[in-house]
Structure 1
Amino acid sequence: MTTRALREPSTTDQHLYATDIPARLDRLPWTRFHTLLVLALGITWLLDGLEVTLAGSVSGALKDSPVLRMSNTEVGLAGGAYIAGAVLGALLFGWLTDRLGRRRLFFVTLALYIGATAATAFSWNLESFLLLRFLTGAGIGGEYTAINSTIQEFTPARFRGWVDLTINGTFWLGAALGALGSVVLLDPALVGGELGWRLCFGIGALLGLFIVPMRLWIPESPRWLMIHNQPQKAERIVAGIERRYRERGIELPPIDRPPLHLHARDPTPLREVFHSLFVDHRRRALVGLTLLSAQAFFYNAIFFTYALVLTDFYAVPSEDVGWYVLPFALGNFCGPLLLGRLFDVVGRRIMISGTYLVSGVLLTLSGYLFQQQLIDVTQQTIAWMVIFFFASAAASSAYLTVAETFPLEIRALAIAVFYAFGTGLGGLLGPTLFGALIETGERSNVLYGYLVGAGLMIAAAWVQARWGAAAERQPLEQVARPLSQVRDRR
C-alpha cells in the first residue's frame, strides 16, 4: 500500500499518515473512465439549462394559462423562486457533502430535483408553482456543490480548467433541449395550451430518471476519503482504477511529487470553515464572490427574461421563442468548449479577466443599439450569441475558481457559500428587476438594467486581474493546502 501510517495513534496524539493518492490521480492519462465520470455527473448543468430555458420559453404560456394567469413581474418572481431554492439548497447540501461524502449527496439532490420538477407539471395555482420551482432549484443547487467537488477531485490537474469549463458549458445543451421541447409542446397544432407547458416540465424528470443508473458505478472521491480518516478505502479505489489501466496495457507515468502527510480529524466545524474562507483566504473569497455575483446578475437578469424581451419588444409569438433560444444556446456552449483549453495554457488570470471584460463591453454596445431601435430581432439574437460566447466561458470560470482555490475539507461548502452569496446578490435581484423594467415597456429602462450588468462584469474583470490565483495545471493540494496537512512533524 502506498497509504501508510507514520506512527501508531495514542490517547494523546492524532493518527498521522502519508498518502500519494492525489499525485496518483493527477498522473492518470485521460481515458474512458474520466469520460464516463464527466457524462454521469456533468449532466447536472444540462438539467439546470433545461429548467432555466423552460422557465423562459413557457413564460408566454404561463401568462396565458387560465389557471396561473401570471404577469411579467410574476414570471420574474418565479425565476427568483428557482434561484432562492438553488441558494438554500447549495448551502444545506454543500455542508452535508463535506460531512457525509460526495457520492451519497449527489443521489439525494438528484432525487429531490426529479420529484420537484415532475410535480411542477401539476401546479394548481401561482403559490404551488412558486413552491415547486423553489424545490427544483434546491435540488439543482445541491447538485452543483456535490458534483463540482467530485469532478475536480477526480480530474487530473492538467485537464481541470478545460474539463470544468466544458462541463459548465453543457448547461446550454440543456437550454437547447428545453427550447426544442417548448417549440414542440407549445405548438397549438401539436399540443399547445395548458397541457403543453405542463408537459414541458416532465422533460427534466424523465432525463433525471435516465441519469440515476449512470451514477451507480461512480465511487466515492478518494480525496474526500483520505481526509476523513478512511485512507485504506481511498487506496482500494485508486488501486482499482490503476488496475484497469494496466489491464488495458496503458503505462502509468511515475509519481512526480512527494506524498502528503495528513492527520485524522473530526468534521470541520463551521467556525473553522468561515475562518478559513474569510480570514485565511479572504482575498480569494473576494475574488470568488465578485466573479459569481457579477455573472449571476448578468445571466439570470437577461436569460430569465429573454422571452419577455422577444415577445414584448419584437412581437415574437410565445410559441416561437424556442427558435431564438437555439442560436443563443449554441453561442453559449461553444464559448467554454473552444476557449476552455486556453484557461489551462494561457492561464486563469488573463483568460478569466479577459472574458469578463469583453462580455461587459459588448453588452453595453448591444444595449445601446437595442435602446435606439437600430437592430431587429435577428440582429439582436446574433448580438447575444457573440456576447454570451465570451460570457459563458466567464461564468464557467467563476465556478472553476471557487471550486479549486479553497482547502479540500471545505471545498463543497465553499462552492455553496459563494454560489449562494453570488447567486443571491445577483440572481435574485436580476430577474425581478428586469421583469419590472420590461413591464414598463420602455427600452431606456431595460438599457439601464443592461448597463448595471455590464458594469458588474467589468468590475469583476478588474478584481480577477488584480487578485486572481494562477491555479492552472497545479494540483488541488498545492493551490490550497488541506487543513489536515501536517505542518510540523518534529
Structure 2
Amino acid sequence: MSSITADGIAVPSASPAGEQVGPLEQKHLQYANYRAVTDGVEISRTHWHIATANALGWGFDGMDGVIFALVSPMVIKEFSLTVPEYRSGLQIALFVGIAGLYFWPWLSDRLGRRTLLAVNIALFSLLMPVVALSPTFATFVVARSLVGFALNGEWSLGSMLVAETWPARLRGRVISATRSTWCLGASLAGGITGLVAANFGWRVAVMVPGVIAMLAIYVRATCPESPYWVRAQDRKQRISDTLASGGRVSDDDRAWFGKAKSVGIRQVFLPDVLPSTLVALFVACCSTCIFGTVGGWMPLYLATEKHWSTAEYSLFYVCWGIVGFLGLCVAGWLADKIGRRMAFVVMLIEGAIFITLWVYTENHVLLWVFGLAWSFGFLGFWGPSTTLTAEVFPTRVRGVANGVVWAIAYFVGFVLFPFVTVALQQHTGSFALSFLCIPVLMIAMAIGVMLLVPEHSGKELNEIIV
C-alpha cells in the first residue's frame, strides 16, 4: 500500500516489518535518499554515499592520530617540554577523547545518526587549525582534547549508519572496507609528515586534515537518516500517545517502551542486553590491548632495538598501512562469506604467527617481510571486530551501548595496559617481551571468539536482537 504526499510523491503506507508507517518516517520518505535505503535489499547510489562518508571519516581518523605521533618530537622541541610533560598532556587528551566515545553514540540514540555524524566531523575539521595555531602547550592540549572528543564519535556513528542501511548480506565487508581506510589515512600521514612537516613545520602539517570540513556538507546532503532509528522513534511515539490517551498496547510494546523511553548506561546491563554487552566488551578490550602496544611503542622499538632510521621507519609505516588496508578488505569479505567468527580466527592466527617471527628475527629483509605480513592479520581483524559491535545491540540502545563498550575498551587498552608494556620493558630492558604478549593475546582472543561470540553473518539486525 502507498499514499501520496502533498508533493505528489508516492510513499509506502507500511514498513518492511508490516507496521504502519509513522509520522516521522512519512516525513523522511519524502526524500529520495531515504527511500533508497528502506527495503534492505537493493544497493543504490545512496548506499555508496553512506559508505564513502564513513570511509573518509575513518581515513582522517588514521591521518590525525599518526600525524600527531610523528610530529611529537617537533612539538616537544618547540614548547621546550620534557617527555613526562608531553605524556601528561596526551593523557589528558586521551581521557577527554574517551568521553567523546560515549557522548556521541549516546546522543545519537536521541537525535539520530546522520546529523551528528556531520556535526562531529565538522567540529574535528574546524578544530584542527586551532591546534595548529596554539601559542602555548596548554592551548595545544585543550585543542587536541577537543579534536579527540569530536573525532572519537565519528567512527561509531558511521559504523552504525552503515550497519543500519546496508543489506545484511554485505554488512561485514562494507564496514570492514570503510574501516580499512584508516590504514590509508595512516599511510598518507607518513607522507604528509615527511613532505609538509619537514619543509614547512608541524603546524602546517596539522592543518592539512582540516580540509575535511567539506565532508560535513557531503554527509548532510547525501546521507539519509537510519530507517531503524526512525522507526524506533515512531514506535516510541505511537506507544506513548496510546498510553497517554488511556488506550491499550500489547505486552511486547509495553515491555519495549519501558526500556526504550529512557536510554542510559543502565540499559546496557539489563538482562536481555547483558550477554551482547559482555561479548562486545570481550572483543573490544582484546582489540585495544592488542593494538595499544604497537600503536604506542613500535617507532621506539624499531629505532632503538632494530636500529632503523626515521626515514626507513616512515616508509615502513606507509607500506604497513597499505597491507593492513588489504587485510581489512579481505577480512570483511571473509566475514560475510564464511562468518564473523572464522574471519576473526583466520586474521588473528595469521597476525600472531608473523608478529612472533618478526620479533625474533634479526635479518633486515625479514624484518620487512614479516612486519608487512603481520599487519595483514593484525589490522585485518578490526573489520569483524567493529562489525560485531555495530550489529549486536538493539536499535533502541545501539548508540549508547557502542559508546559504553568502546569507552571501557579504550580505557583498558590505551590507559591501563600500557603500564604492563612499560613494566615489561623496564624489567627486561627490551620491548621484545612486550611485543610477544601480542600473539598470546591474539590466540586467546581467537579461542574466546570461537567459544563466546555468536554467528550473525547474513542476519537482519532485528533477527540478532530486538
The question of whether the paired residues in 1 share the 8 Å contact of 2:118 and 2:215 is answered with no
What is residue 329 of structure 2 aligned with on the other side? 337
Distance 1:175 1:296 in 2: 17
When residues 422 and 161 of structure 1 are mapped into structure 2, their CA distance, relative to the original with a 3 A threshold, is same
Q: For residues 400-432 of structure 1, give each alpha carbon's deviation from its aligned partner in whole angstroms, at most 9, with x where no partner exists.
A: 111101101111111111111111100223556
The residue type paired with residue 91 of structure 1 is Y
The question of whether the paired residues in 2 share the 8 Å contact of 1:399 and 1:415 is answered with no
Q: Offset at 1:359?
A: 2.5
The question of whether the paired residues in 2 share the 8 Å contact of 1:59 and 1:307 is answered with no
When residues 23 and 40 of structure 1 are mapped into structure 2, their CA distance, relative to the original with a 3 A threshold, is closer
| TM-score (norm. length: structure 1) | 0.78
Distance 1:111 1:429 in 2: 31
The residue type paired with residue 462 of structure 1 is I
What is residue 165 of structure 2 aligned with on the other side? 154
Q: Offset at 1:304?
A: 3.1
Q: Offset at 1:469?
A: 1.5
The question of whether the paired residues in 2 share the 8 Å contact of 1:347 and 1:470 is answered with yes
Q: For residues 312-337 of structure 1, give each alpha carbon's deviation from its aligned partner in whole angstroms, at most 9, with x where no partner exists.
A: 33444446643221111111101011
The alignment status of 1:307 with 2:307, answered yes or no, reads no
Q: Offset at 1:25?
A: 2.8
Distance 1:367 1:443 in 2: 15
Distance 1:136 1:317 in 2: 30
What is residue 215 of structure 1 aligned with on the other side? 219
Matches within 5 A, 1:257-268: 265=257, 267-268=260-261
The alignment status of 1:25 with 2:39, answered yes or no, reads yes
Matches within 5 A, 1:57-456: 57-63=70-76, 65-71=77-83, 80-187=91-198, 190-191=199-200, 196-206=201-211, 208-217=212-221, 218-229=223-234, 265=257, 267-270=260-263, 274-277=266-269, 279-318=271-310, 321-369=313-361, 374-376=362-364, 379-430=366-417, 444-456=429-441
The residue type paired with residue 107 of structure 1 is A
Alignment root-mean-square deviation, CA:
3.2
What is residue 476 of structure 1 aligned with on the other side? 461
Structure 2 stretches lacking a partner, 5+ long: 1-11, 23-34, 238-251
Q: For residues 199-254 of structure 1, give each alpha carbon's deviation from its aligned partner in whole angstroms, at most 9, with x where no partner exists.
A: 11112112x2131221122221121111001799xxxxxxxxxxxxxxxxxxxxxx
Distance 2:54 2:37 in 1: 23
Runs of 4+ aligned residues of structure 1 deviating over 6 Å after TM superposition are 4-7, 261-264, 435-438
When residues 446 and 303 of structure 1 are mapped into structure 2, their CA distance, relative to the original with a 3 A threshold, is same
The alignment status of 1:463 with 2:456, answered yes or no, reads no
The question of whether the paired residues in 2 share the 8 Å contact of 1:110 and 1:139 is answered with yes
User: Size of the alignment, in residue pairs?
Assistant: 425
Q: Offset at 1:478?
A: 0.2
The question of whether the paired residues in 1 share the 8 Å contact of 2:345 and 2:449 is answered with yes
| TM-score (norm. length: structure 2) | 0.82
When residues 51 and 324 of structure 1 are mapped into structure 2, their CA distance, relative to the original with a 3 A threshold, is same
Fraction of identical pairs, as percent:
21
The residue type paired with residue 212 of structure 1 is A
When residues 432 and 50 of structure 1 are mapped into structure 2, their CA distance, relative to the original with a 3 A threshold, is farther
When residues 294 and 350 of structure 1 are mapped into structure 2, their CA distance, relative to the original with a 3 A threshold, is same
Q: Offset at 1:390?
A: 0.6
Distance 2:302 2:197 in 1: 16
| The one of 46, 49, 56 aligned to 2:62 | 49
1:27 match: secondary structure? coil
Distance 1:80 1:328 in 2: 26
Q: Offset at 1:96?
A: 0.6
Distance 1:179 1:318 in 2: 11
Q: Offset at 1:287?
A: 2.2
Q: For residues 296-323 of structure 1, give each alpha carbon's deviation from its aligned partner in whole angstroms, at most 9, with x where no partner exists.
A: 1222321233332333334444466432
Structure with greater contact order relative to length (CA < 8 Å, sep ≥ 6): 1
Q: Offset at 1:448?
A: 2.6
The question of whether the paired residues in 1 share the 8 Å contact of 2:163 and 2:390 is answered with yes
